[in-house]
Structure 1
Amino acid sequence: MLHARPQLISAKLEKLHPTQITVGKLEVALKRKHWSELGKKERTAALASHWFPAILGPEEKYYILDHHHFGLALLEEGVKTVSLMLQKDLSWLNPVKFWTVMDHSQWVHPYGTDGTRHEFNAIPKHLEHLQDDPYRSLAGELRRAGGYAKDVTPFSEFLWADFFRNRISSDILDHDFNKALVKAKKLAASQEARYLPGWVGVIAAL
């Protein structure tokens, strides 16, 4: 019989497992900057009020479902412990069944820096091994700039990142981020983007 586990638990940040392959390192840097500007009491309050949704997987390992950027930023800032909100205990499943359930529940995003899907074993074992996807940084910055609305759709920012991937060259993104952001804002308001979560454009008249 499975034993009940507490919903809110404390865990070592370095031992948490990601459920995606990439992050936008620019977004991580911005979160680090914000954290560095907080006082001791503000940091304590932030950690007390911010929890990571997680799944308990095989071998009693915790897999976080969200806030990978914040988690990596905290890790790089030397934070040791965070709070998890346990969503489900799947520790009794074998690894193959575990990843099947994770996939069907939209709790995993096994897509690389080129936007293509990879095997589950390509997902890093630790937060510090997450790869940088500049298009994810662009999508995150665009949302902060009001280019689209925050949406509850799982991995919505990655959908936007993939939309820009073949519309904005990597050269522009690497060498003139502001120019790329201006172009992204225009594209985000276009009819092409109306299928994306949080789209704030105007539906064209028939």
Structure 2
Amino acid sequence: MTSHHPQLVTAKLNQLHPTQITVGKLEVTLKRQQWNAMNRKARAEALDSHWFPAVAGPDGNYFIVDHHHFGLALIEEDVKQVSLMILKDLSWLEHGAFWNAMDHHQWVHPFDGNGVRQKYHAVPEHLTHLQDDPYRSLAGEVRRAGGYAKDATPFSEFLWADFFRPQIARELIEQDFSVALAQAKQLAATPAARYLPGWCGPIAQV
């Protein structure tokens, strides 16, 4: 009997494959701080209740399609095993067809730290090889500050990162993050950002 429910499995965290090239390292640091603030019971409950969405791919590998920041934070905190929710089994496909199918489902984001699309082979094979994109960190902080709403659109924070990329200097993000954040929040409220997922509209004038 075929089940229509996602399959739930456990897997070694250090063997999971990412489906993007970059993360915001600031966000990874925040995830680690949140983890360190938990006691042992809270950590166990967090792991029990958190399922990484994943796809079964070629060569017996699992590819996570979300929560890369949390996964990398857990690796850096020496967590060994996590739970996966298998969205689809594409393990029977050869590599080229697999990545095309992943792209079709919007389960891969092969863009580098400059927002430039790369070939699929540029996606690293290990979470610890993910590159830092400061604009992804900025986009995450803008959302947490209420600059836009959380949205189910795949890789929505990367869309916001690309919006900020040509308008805020990378050096400013790296050298004075609070100023960059203030600028980004103002930009997020402008009509120019209205095409982005979670846009909240212009700030009312008082």
- For Structure 1 versus Structure 2, the TM-score category normalised by the shorter chain is over 0.9
- 1:109-148 paired onto structure 2 within 5 Å: 109-148=109-148
1:63: which partner in 2? 63
Answering whether residue 91 of structure 2 is matched by residue 91 of structure 1, we say yes
Matched residue SS, 1:86: strand
With structure 1 as the length reference, what TM-score do the two structures score? 0.95
Q: Which residue of 2 aligns with 1:175?
A: 175
Partner of 2:156: 156
User: Does 1:16 find its partner at 2:12?
Assistant: no
Whether 1:189 aligns to 2:189 is: yes
Whole-Å separation in 1 of the counterparts to 2:6 and 2:177 = 44
Say whether the 8 Å CA contact 2:20–2:110 is kept in structure 1: yes
Structure 2 contact 23–130 (Cα < 8 Å) conserved: yes
Contact 1:32 1:77 in 2 (8 A): yes
C-alpha distance in 1 between matches for 2:94 and 2:5: 19
Please, which runs of 5 or more residues in structure 1 have no aligned partner?
A: none
CA distance in 2, matches of 1:84, 1:171: 37
Partner of 1:51: 51
CA drift of 1:130 comes to: 0.3
Distance 1:181 1:5, change over 3 A: closer
Alpha carbons of structure 1 residues 150 and 6: separation in structure 2 relative to 1, 3 Å: closer
CA distance in 2, matches of 1:203, 1:98: 44
Structural RMSD (CA): 1.8
* Equivalence for 1:105: 105
Structure 2 CA distance for aligned equivalents of residues 57 and 171 of structure 1: 38
Instruction: Mark the CA change 1:5 to 1:96 in structure 2 (over 3 Å): closer, same or farther.
Output: farther
| 1:36 match | 36
Shift in alpha-carbon separation, 1:150–1:52, aligned structure 2, 3 A: same
Runs of 4+ more than 2 Å apart: none
Report the AA paired with residue 10 of structure 2: S
**Count of paired positions:** 203
Q: Is the 8 A contact 1:191 1:203 kept in 2?
A: no
Percent identical pairs in the alignment equals 65
Aligned to 1:33, the other structure's residue is in SS state helix
Counterpart Cα distance in 2 of 1:202 and 1:12: 45
Unaligned runs of 5+ in 2: none
Per-residue displacement from partner, 1:158-178 (whole Å, max 9, x unpaired)?
000000000001121111000
Shift of 1:6: 7.4
Residue 27 of structure 2 is aligned to residue 27 of structure 1: yes
CA distance in 1, matches of 2:77, 2:203: 44
**Contact 1:7–1:87 (8 Å) recurs in 2:** yes
Normalising by structure 2, what TM-score? 0.95
Task: Tell me, in whole angstroms, the C-alpha distance in 1 between the residues paired with 2:125 and 2:98.
Answer: 15
